[in-house]
């Protein structure tokens, strides 16, 4: 069956160019071990890197129980926070759900998001899918940003001593940049990013397309997919400094 072009644009599709379409965003930072950090979730030879309570890399190939589980001690690493590459481009990570696809297809894949609403309209962000969630809709990118709200799960209290519902509101997080000043030092830059480069945008819509991951992203996550619908060889330098105005 051939779908009309308008339907393809709305649903997203997997093709020789990878998944693409229109989508939506939300935000979160729950400190939990990401779903794609478990072994065998994708074609990658190693899962997403996680850290211990003190933010030291575990290098355990995904074996450690999540800090969101009883007795768990694996957490999201602080360096998987978003950062600005230049005035119109940022890099980061996200929990993802692609319509008509599955976690095996999107874990550790990267997507170029072009924001189409709000104050960031026209800006672009490349995110690597490191997580998913039962509360995500179709073509949904839940961008990881410290202070974005813990959502359903919360390991930030265990890892950093955050309030019981995380920093700010459980859904939505902190309300302004001034709140970032009280954050753990390693999370401050990611929290500030939301109000600087991201301009405090509240769940902007996006156009998205799958792209090869920047090496600067995979150098931090340590997760690189093997070739599937597109060539997954990481591109560009492995270190990209944070842009400041």
Which residues are the active-site residues?
A: 30
Rg of the chain in Å (alpha carbons): 17
Q: 3-class secondary structure for the chain?
A: CCCCHHHHHHHCECCCCCCEEEEEEEEECCCECCHHHCCCCCCCCCCCCCECCCCCECCCCCCCCECCCCCCCEECCCCCCCEEEECCEEEEEEEEECCCCCHHHHCCCEEEEEECCCCCCCCEEEEEEEECCCCCCCCEEEEECCCCCCCCCCCHHHHHCCCCCCCCECCCECCCHHHHHHCCHHHHHHHHHHHCCCCCCCCCEEEEEEECCEHHHHHHHCCCCCCCCCCCCCECCCCCCCCCC
Structure tokens at 125: 């962000």
Q: How far apart are CA 81 and CA 193, in angstroms?
A: 9
Pairing mode, strands 83-86 and 20-28: unpaired
* Beta-bridge mates of residue 97: 140
């Amino acid at each position: 069956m051939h779908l009309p072009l308008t339907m393809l644009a709305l649903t997203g599709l997997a093709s020789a160019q990878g998944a693409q379409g229109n989508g939506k965003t939300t935000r979160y930072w729950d400190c939990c071990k990401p779903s794609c950090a478990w072994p065998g979730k994708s074609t990658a030879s190693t899962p997403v890197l996680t850290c211990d309570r003190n933010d030291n890399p575990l290098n355990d190939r995904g074996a450690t129980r999540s800090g969101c589980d009883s007795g768990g001690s694996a957490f999201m690493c602080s360096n998987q926070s978003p950062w600005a590459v230049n005035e119109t481009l940022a890099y980061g990570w996200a929990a993802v759900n692609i319509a008509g696809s599955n976690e095996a297809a999107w874990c550790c894949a990267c997507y170029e998001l072009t924001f189409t609403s709000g104050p960031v309209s026209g800006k672009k962000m490349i995110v690597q899918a490191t997580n998913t969630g039962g509360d995500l809709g179709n073509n949904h990118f839940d961008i990881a940003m410290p202070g974005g709200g813990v959502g359903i799960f919360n390991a930030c209290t265990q890892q950093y001593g955050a309030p019981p519902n995380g920093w700010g509101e459980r859904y939505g997080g902190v309300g302004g940049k001034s709140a970032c000043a009280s954050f753990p030092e390693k999370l401050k830059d990611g929290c500030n990013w939301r109000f600087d480069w991201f301009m405090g945008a509240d769940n902007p819509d996006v156009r998205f397309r799958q792209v090869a991951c920047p090496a600067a992203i995979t150098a931090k996550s340590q997760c690189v997919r093997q070739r599937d619908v597109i060539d997954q060889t990481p591109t560009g330098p492995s270190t990209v400094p944070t842009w400041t105005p």
